Amino acid sequence: MRSVMSGSDMDRALRRIAHEIVEKNRGTADVVIVGIRTRGGPLADRLVGVLEEIEPGPVTSGILDIGMYRDDLDQRPRTVLGPTELPTNLDEKTVVLVDDVLYTGRTIRAALDALADLGRAAVVQLAVMVDRGHRELPIRADYVGKNLPTSRSEHVTVRVAEIDGEDGVWIDNPAPGDEGSAT
């Protein structure tokens, strides 16, 4: 396993993304930060913390579970569902989805479907810690912590302290023929 981002790299990336969000949206008044379970959750919480440091006023946030929206349920072991907690009304809001790794785009597609069922956001943007390429859908990120060229057989692991006890991003090359996955 090779380290590609340290904990402080991740901190710096989050701070940069926070500034980009403020700049792009001219503040945080109508912004809702929504983490995608599981590791998007803590990343979203940290982003909210930074945003509240650099902009006045509280930042609205939520968490989205996409288990019911996956199109690859058959290919996975049992999906454990978690709660979805969002502000009651997303109408006319700018939703920033937060996830750890952007890979095929299928997770984001599922999140967009889930979001559409839950309200009508004015704008949806996407923030990810790592973009490793290999998209299968026309989806791109608005805010990226690190662009990481990978091969499909490689495995990218993002760890966050709240869940894994440490921060960092690693890449490894599993046994030949073992298809890598995003997280």
Residue ranges binding another protein (CB under 8 A)? 65, 67-71, 73-84, 113-114, 117-119
Q: How far is the CB of 140 from another protein (least distance, A)?
A: 23
Please report how many Cα atoms fall inside a 13 Å half-sphere around the Cα of residue 131, on the Cβ side: 18
The strand pairing partners of 96, in sequence order, are 33, 125
Query: In this structure, what DSSP letter does residue 83 have?
Result: -
Structure tokens belonging to residue 95: 């939703």
- Smaller CB distance to another protein: residue 173 or 181? 181
Residue number, 111 or 129, with CB nearest to another protein: 111
**Pick 38 or 173: Cβ nearer another protein:** 38
Nearest CB to another protein, comparing residues 47 and 97: 97
In angstroms, give the least distance from the CB of 57 to another protein. 28
Rounded CA separation 97/127 (Å)? 6
d(CA 150, CA 88): 39
For the CB of residue 123, give the shortest distance to another protein in the complex, in Å: 20
